[in-house]
A and B are shown apart, each in its own frame.
Chain A
Amino acid sequence: MPTKEYAFYPGCSSQSKASAANLQTSITAMCKTLDIKLTNIPDWNCCGASIAYAGGGELERVVMNARNFTLAAKHLPGQDIVATCAACWLNSRESKVKLDGHPQLLAQANEALKEAGLNYQGSAPVRHMVEVLIEDFGYAELKKPVVKSLAGIKFAGYVGCQTNRPFGIAGESFENPMYLDKLVESMGGEALTAYDQKVTCCGGALAFSEPDKSQQHIRDIVEAAYDHGADMLVTPCPLCQANVEVYQSEINRKQGTKFHLPIVYYSQLMAVAYGGSVKAAGLDGHIIAPTKLQEIATKK
């Protein structure tokens, strides 16, 4: 299979020493094995996430994304734009739907973009890394490079919201998407397919502004994983990962629970299964160490 090339939109949280730096580390290792070449969109900017609406209006948020598309089309023509962050993907894709479907909005966006010396004339599709894996490779192909099976580890697949709704992964249901379970199984792990909190919201940005309300959901997400016998939770979303890992100690402090559930990324599973070290898979980037996965990564 020839090298697959994509225009990469890493997003703010994936930068070095940012909250999802270890997602990026594991994505790099995974892509190396799969012969995927990701080239950063030169000088990319923030997508505005989902929470900026009180500060920035629709046009401002759309323009932020249009700048990224225009830079991608200019410097990396023909390459699909790929994001690993759920919010980056959703906001980019939503902006693109609006730009491409509303000539008046497009004209206004271009008027603003002109100030940055740019002009949006369409771009390649905006895709999630999971779409790339499933559609451009497929489970059988992803399984081929596995050198270390993840047998013996039970994973609760926590898909969350924005990788799943409103766009989702083609062919998957919004209520019970199976792709994460299939990815786990492809790596030899045990997927707890009956895990019932797989599409529950962690609170998103409201984990910061409404901590108590959000922590009720985080508690459900973690508790259900324990009920199903999970060793760890696996997710595609950087904010889900951070919220569910970081606030366990707060929930323990306030509610007297004893939660200590590791939360990992699908790409970390793949990096380990493909023979990556603890460091290469970003497994040193956790507050709650995923020890069972670290043991497999350390094993010769």
Chain B
Amino acid sequence: MNALRTTGHQTTPAVAARYRNDFLKEVEAHVEDGEWVKMCMQCGVCAGSCPLGAHWEHPPQELFMMIRAGKRDAVLSCDAMWMCTSCYNCVVRCPRKLPITQIMHGIASYAQELGLAPKVQPTRDFSIQFWKNCTKTGRVNEIKLTVGLYFKDGLVAGIEQVMNMLPVALGLMKAGRLNPFELLRGHSPKDQKGIAAMLKKARAIAAQRAPATH
């Protein structure tokens, strides 16, 4: 008899659920480039290469190990992957060539989709605002994006931000790089209807939850 195997005890379903290790499979199926997670060899070069490395609750190699350990809630609800600046330093340095930046975006995106992402997270907010902004017409409206960002914490905080950045804004206007009239009407492609329909369809296809690239 295997001495390490506990016998005579029935494992309760609750305990089994805690140790269930299908989170890795879930990530492989649903997270962009998730099939790479198991390739991590825990060297930590990604953590040491990240410009915001000091601010990660769990650096990428730790997230990868947590995924393999089945720590679903801890991974999806944490703040860590929202620190990614998309600098791709980890990607080019990873000895196993994991697309770490893409996986971080993928985990963040999946957490958001499931409603598990932290509610107060400035990069999450900006990310959502950016997508809404650039898909509204099909091109970014820079002034609406900036104004939206400054006033996200209310009118008072917004006015303070605007006052701080006013000299810069006036400088940019003078330099021909900021147009207040874009608040009314910005640049846009002609086929906005086609773009909207295309994106609606893409969202519907993705919602069928068929993993796209795997």
Interface of B is mostly: helix
In the complex, number of A-B residue pairs with CB atoms less than 8 Å apart: 224
B206–A58 contact, CB under 8 A? yes
B164–A253 contact, CB under 8 A? yes
Contacting residues, chain A, for B83 (C-beta < 8 A): 206, 210, 213
The residues in A between 175 and 196 inclusive whose CB is less than 8 angstroms from any CB of B are none
A12–B197 contact, CB under 8 A? no
A63–B202 contact, CB under 8 A? yes
Chain B residues proximal to chain A, CB less than 8 Å: 32, 51-52, 55, 83, 85-89, 91-93, 99, 101-102, 105-106, 108-109, 112-113, 117, 122-132, 134-135, 138-140, 142, 146, 149, 164-165, 167-168, 171-172, 175-179, 182, 187, 189-191, 194-195, 197-203, 205-206, 210, 212-213
A209–B128 contact, CB under 8 A? no
Contact A43 B190, CB 8 Å, known A105-B212, A162-B88, A201-B89: yes
A58–B112 contact, CB under 8 A? no
The residues in A between 143 and 183 inclusive whose CB is less than 8 angstroms from any CB of B are 161-162, 165-166, 168, 174
A284–B176 contact, CB under 8 A? yes
In the complex, which of the residues A20, A56, A201, A213 contacts B87, with contact meaning CB atoms closer than 8 Å? A201
The interface-forming segment of A112-120, A121-129, A131-139, A225-233 is A112-120
How far is A206 from B99 in the complex, measured between Cα atoms in Å? Answer: 20
How far is A94 from B88 in the complex, measured between Cα atoms in Å? Answer: 12
Residue among B131, B164, B178 with max Cβ neighbours from chain A (10 Å): B131
Contacting residues, chain A, for B189 (C-beta < 8 A): 43-45
Contacting residues, chain A, for B109 (C-beta < 8 A): 53-54, 57-58
Cβ of A108 within 8 Å of any chain B Cβ, yes or no, is yes
A18–B187 contact, CB under 8 A? yes
B168–A246 contact, CB under 8 A? yes
B197's closest neighbor in chain A, by CB? A115
How far is A102 from B206 in the complex, measured between Cα atoms in Å? Answer: 15
B91's closest neighbor in chain A, by CB? A166
Contacting residues, chain A, for B210 (C-beta < 8 A): 104, 108
How many Å from the CB of B94 to the closest CB on chain A? Answer: 10
In the complex, which of the residues A12, A112, A286 contacts B201, with contact meaning CB atoms closer than 8 Å? A112
Contacting residues, chain B, for A55 (C-beta < 8 A): 127-132, 135
Contact A17 B177, CB 8 Å, known A53-B109, A115-B200, A204-B86: yes
Chain A residues proximal to chain B, CB less than 8 Å: 12-13, 15-22, 43-46, 48-60, 63-64, 67, 94, 98, 102, 104-105, 108-109, 111-118, 161-162, 165-166, 168, 174, 199-201, 203-206, 208-210, 213-214, 217, 246, 249-250, 253, 284-287
A49's closest neighbor in chain B, by CB? B130
In the complex, which of the residues A53, A115, A287 contacts B127, with contact meaning CB atoms closer than 8 Å? A53
A111–B52 contact, CB under 8 A? no
How far is A48 from B139 in the complex, measured between Cα atoms in Å? Answer: 9
How many Å from the CB of A221 to the closest CB on chain B? Answer: 11
Contacting residues, chain A, for B177 (C-beta < 8 A): 17-22, 285
Contacting residues, chain B, for A162 (C-beta < 8 A): 86-88
Contacting residues, chain B, for A45 (C-beta < 8 A): 138-139, 189, 195
B92–A174 contact, CB under 8 A? yes
A15–B87 contact, CB under 8 A? no
B189's closest neighbor in chain A, by CB? A43
How many Å from the CB of A113 to the closest CB on chain B? Answer: 6
Residue among B86, B128, B139, B172 with max Cβ neighbours from chain A (10 Å): B86
B107's closest neighbor in chain A, by CB? A53
How many Å from the CB of A254 to the closest CB on chain B? Answer: 10
In the complex, which of the residues B91, B123, B165 contacts A165, with contact meaning CB atoms closer than 8 Å? B91
How far is A286 from B178 in the complex, measured between Cα atoms in Å? Answer: 11
